[in-house]
Amino acid sequence: MTEIIDGNAVASEIRTELTDAIETLADAGEQPTLATVLMSDDPASETYVSMKQDDCEEVGIEAVDVDIDPDAPAEELYDTIDELNADDGVNGILVQMPVPDHVDDREVLRRIDPEKDVDGFHPENVGRLVAGNARYKPCTPHGIQKLLDSAGVDPEGKDAVIVGRSDIVGKPMANLLIQKAEGGNATVTVCHSRTGDLAAKTREADILVAAAGVPEMIDGDMVQEGATVIDVGVNRVDADTEKGYELVGDVDYESAKAQAGAITPVPGGVGPMTRAMLLYNTVKATGRQADVDVTLP
Ligand code: GUN
């Protein structure tokens, strides 16, 4: 029987444990606060940001919501970041990506105070992650580490294959899995759009992380029997539903499930974990900034 890895359940456990940490902070007079900044009218980005805010409220994190007109000059976003950096009442800052083309996304990431960079995307935080001394682990790969742990899959000594080399998922996932640390010690291959024989690589994977953003590109033929398959894809494809679309992953679920030992569904796999780890980083940031020791899950 293939194990279905339940991201909603694991995320819920993490949120419960974070609630205790938030109480510890409250006892010390600290109110964790996350600012989300959205400069986009993409419906998916709007949905993600509003879900992140709802999650904050549920666990007792205050959410500050900043909306910037996507046609506004880039300076409006840069100035907003400067203000949030200077605001002692804000512990974490998340600028939802992607930003409009006329905004320099590298400048956005550089501009966020690395202590408030709960995405872990600032170059200083990327450097620390690569060096094995992460301040804030990026939310999606960190959530995947937690999912693997929950499924009893220790990456040590295993062949992990990541499909996708994004700054948000593929690269930090590779870095976490090769760390000489708990949840790491895997042998990692990163595949991408120029990889020669993709299926030959993915069939070698004991742990296969699909993060290419291409609907259902990984099918059962590409999966080794018994592999753990982690599907990061959240693709809206046209469908005859009320909303006019349905969500599918980067993995062809049914055929991959027939081969896999364990697999994450879409939705209900990686997505809830990304959101839970954002709360985790916000609580961690608050503890660091207030110099209060908090126990994190
Ligand atoms: N866009 C897609 N994923 C993410 C994420 O994890 N953080 C931010 N800031 N933007 C995103």
pLDDT tens digits along 120-171:
999 999 999 999 999 999 999 999 999 999 999 999 999 999 999 999 999 9
Q: Do 89 and 154 fall into the same domain?
A: no
Q: Are 106 and 65 in the same domain?
A: yes
Q: What is the pLDDT of residue 286?
A: 98
Residues 183, 149 within the same domain:
yes
162 falls within a domain: yes
Distance 200 CA to ligand 1 centre (A): 30
* Mean pLDDT of the region 278-290: 98
pLDDT at 88: 97
Model confidence at 22, pLDDT cuts 50, 70, 90, reads: very high
**Counts for the chain of helices (H) and strands (E), in that order:** 10, 11
The answer to whether the CB of 30 is under 6 A from ligand 1 is no
Last residue of a domain, one of 81, 116, 151: 116
Peptide bond into 114 cis (omega under 30): no
Arithmetic mean of pLDDT, 35-53: 97
Alpha-carbon distance of 164 to 145, in angstroms, equals 17
Indicate whether 44 and 93 sit together in one domain.
Answer: yes
Looking at residue 218, its amino acid is I
- E strand residue ranges, the chain: 3-4, 33-38, 62-67, 92-95, 159-163, 187-191, 207-210, 228-231, 235-238, 245-248, 262-263
Its pTM stands at 0.97
Q: Do 176 and 261 have their domain in common?
A: yes
- Does residue 153 sit in the same domain as residue 266? yes
**What mean pLDDT, rounded, does the chain reach?**
98
Q: How many CB atoms lie within 10 A of CB 74?
A: 16
Coil, helix or strand for 117?
A: strand
Which pLDDT belongs to residue 260?
98
SS3 105: helix
Q: Is 110 domain-assigned?
A: yes
Ligand 1, pocket-test mutation among 49, 51, 68, 94, most atoms within 8 A of CB:
94
Domain containing residue 57: CATH number: 3.40.50.10860
The residues carrying an active-site annotation are: 52, 96, 119
Q: Assess whether 97 and 151 both reside in one domain.
A: no
Mean pLDDT, residues 77-82 taken together: 98
Judge residue 44's burial from the number of C-beta atoms within 10 Å of its C-beta, 0-12 exposed, 13-18 middle, 19 or more buried: middle
Asked if 70 and 167 sit in the same domain, the reply is no
Any idea what the Cα angle at residue 154 is, between residues 9 and 284, rounded to 5°? Answer: 55
Claim to verify: residue 203 and residue 262 sit in the same structural domain: yes
* 83 and 181 co-located in one domain: no
Decide if 164 contacts 211 (C-beta within 8 A).
Answer: yes
Instruction: Let me know whether 170 and 268 are in one domain.
Output: yes
* Nearest one of 121, 97, 98, 118 to 109, comparing CA atoms: 121
* 48, part of any domain: yes
Q: Indicate the pLDDT class of residue 91, thresholds 50, 70 and 90.
A: very high
Residue 268 confidence (pLDDT):
98
Question: What's residue 202's pLDDT?
Answer: 98
Domain of 200, CATH number, reads 3.40.50.720
Q: Are 210 and 233 in contact (CB under 8 A)?
A: yes
Task: Please calculate the CA angle 173-183-229 and round it to the nearest 5 degrees.
Answer: 60
Q: Do residues 109 and 160 share a domain?
A: no
Owning domain of residue 145: 139-272
Mutate to test the pocket of ligand 1, among 39, 96, 270 (most ligand atoms within 8 A of CB): 96
Q: Does the residue 103 lie in any domain?
A: yes
Tell me what pLDDT residue 132 has.
97
Q: Give residue 178's pLDDT.
A: 98
| Cα(24) to centroid(ligand 1), Å | 28
**What is the number of domains present in the chain?**
2
**Could you tell me the two tokens for 29?**
């007079």
- Mean pLDDT across 178-204: 98
Residue 63 falls within a domain, yes or no? yes
Cα 70 to ligand 1 centre (Å): 17
Residue 295 domain-assigned? Answer: no
Domain boundary among 59, 82, 116: 116
CA distances from 184 to 142, 160, 205, 235 (A): 11, 10, 15, 28
Would you state the pLDDT for residue 96?
A: 98
pLDDT at 217: 98
